[in-house]
Amino acid sequence: MHENFIGGRWVGGATHRDNINPSDLSDVVGQYAQADATQTAEAIAAARDAAHTWAHTTGQRKFDALDAIGSEILARKEELATLLAREEGKTLADARGEVDRAAGIFKFFAGEAVRVPGQLLPANRAGIVPEITREPVGVVGIIAPWNFPIAIPAWKIAPALAYGNAVVFKPADLVPGSAWALAEIISRAGLPEGTFNLVMGRGSVVGQAMLQDRRVDAISFTGSVGTGRRVAEAAIGRLAKVQMEMGGKNPLVILDDADLDVAVECAVNGAYFQTGQRCTASSRLIVQRGIYPRFVEAVKKRLEGLKIGHALQAGTDIGPVVDAEQLAQNERYVQIGKEEGAVLAYGGDRVKADTEGFFMRPALFVDCDNAQRICREEIFGPVAAVIPVATYEEALEVANDTEFGLSSGICTTSLKHAAHFKRESQAGMVMINCPTAGVDYHAPFGGRKGSSYGPREQGQYALEFYTTVKTTYTAA
């Protein structure tokens, strides 16, 4: 039994949950405790008690702790990657990359802990000097999603600790294994008791308790738009600081002058790798008519060469969908696409493998209209819609015609169109001749419109959420 971590102690839950491998339903990754509202309140109380001590801990000690966490993640990369692939279903190669990223995040923010910026302004009134400093927010509640079960927790927990906050962490109920392993590493990093707490369990129980508790000063959430709205209402209702990353319906524009090989790789990688279970996935492929037939045929050929199977098997390109509910949702959208008149050019069916799992062939819809549901709603699976357009101007208009604004991309050899798209795309992140999915931990992450709310995540921009600004006036 994998227990919760509250106030520096491992604590059993009210119930437990089996963690099932989506590549092999007979493989139980482990049993994980489920916290109730009482245990969540205990974790919050422990964080509140520890917050002042950690806030006044030296930058060097914070550096040492975060750097040690990053080093142990790297040292255990194969073990952690195997665990991640087993519980979430992404390929072992992708899992290794995610573990590397988690380690890099902790090491990056170890450095940030010793260079928190401030400012001393010249006196505007004789003898009175204004000083601007940044202080920790206090207790930060972290609610993470299932699709990146170690990287996203890392990019929330690391800056929270680096800038002196105490943490209450609720991982996704579906994939607690990687989060528990990360918590176990953090538990031995020398933090004062209560500085970091892990409470596993359902969002309706643990998450709700965190949202309602006034001792939680800030909430960082990544998940669906619907849940995000409820998080925002609860947090703003009691004036807590809130940061949210939600959905995407990301466009990848392919112009007639694009390098076809580059365009195909960008589209296939962005739309289908990691089973399309990325908020930055290229779910809308907006293609100019001159290159349209060649692009569609090349994508189909590329998809035919992909191997769908067990995440831990050598040579697997795409692993399973995360669970039965997500697979059923993908299949519903494939049916919706057909009913709306889009042409299913490839895939969309289940794949039989050596083990019982949630395997799905990537679905490619062509001759789509941006008004169709498969072009409007986030599916969060290996389903992409190709939308034909006549001109660059029409492509840009279609790309921006969405309630989301996380990531966008364009494949072109035209510097003119690339520069214009970079400026006019209504997205938080713009990719030129590279997939819409794939970001760096030292650069800000976030979107516009319905995709994000609040300050950016990652890089130095994380400072905006995890600290508060204080202005001090001193009369000499």
Under DSSP, is residue 71 helix (H, G, I), strand (E, B) or coil? helix
Read off the amino acid at residue 184: E
In angstroms, the CA 20 to CA 149 distance is: 14
Q: Which residues contact 307 (CB under 8 A, 6 or more apart)?
A: 315, 316, 317, 318
Residue spans of beta strands (DSSP E) within 246-362:
251-254, 284-288, 343-346
Q: Which residues contact 371 (CB under 8 A, 6 or more apart)?
A: none
* H or E element, residue 115: none
Q: Which residues contact 2 (CB under 8 A, 6 or more apart)?
A: 30, 31, 32, 33, 176, 177, 180, 200
Q: Which residues contact 299 (CB under 8 A, 6 or more apart)?
A: 264, 267, 268, 285, 346, 364, 386
**Pair of tokens at residue 289:** 């008519």
Under DSSP, is residue 18 helix (H, G, I), strand (E, B) or coil? strand
pLDDT at 327: 98
Residue 247 CA neighbour count, 13 Å, CB half: 18
Cross-strand pairs, 134: 469
Altogether, the residues listed in the chain come to a count of: 476
Using an 8 Å Cβ cutoff, are 176 and 203 in contact?
no
In angstroms, the CA 8 to CA 439 distance is: 33
Number of C-beta neighbours around residue 305 at 10 A: 8
Read off the amino acid at residue 152: I
In angstroms, the CA 408 to CA 287 distance is: 14
Active site residues: 245, 279
Per-residue pLDDT of the chain (476 residues; tens, 9 = 90+): 899 999 999 999 989 999 999 999 999 999 999 999 999 999 999 999 999 999 999 999 999 999 999 999 999 999 999 999 999 999 999 999 999 999 999 999 999 999 999 999 999 999 999 999 999 999 999 999 999 999 999 999 999 999 999 999 999 999 999 999 999 999 999 999 999 999 999 999 999 999 999 999 999 999 999 999 999 999 999 999 999 999 999 999 999 999 999 999 999 999 999 999 999 999 999 999 999 999 999 999 999 999 999 999 999 999 999 999 999 999 999 999 999 999 999 999 999 999 999 999 999 999 999 999 999 999 999 999 999 999 999 999 999 999 999 999 999 999 999 999 999 999 999 999 999 999 999 999 999 999 999 999 999 999 999 999 999 999 97
pLDDT at 293: 98
pTM of the model: 0.96
Supply the DSSP string of 376-396, one letter for each residue.
HS---SSEEEEEEESSHHHHH
pLDDT at 14: 86
- CA 141 to the chain's CA centroid: 16
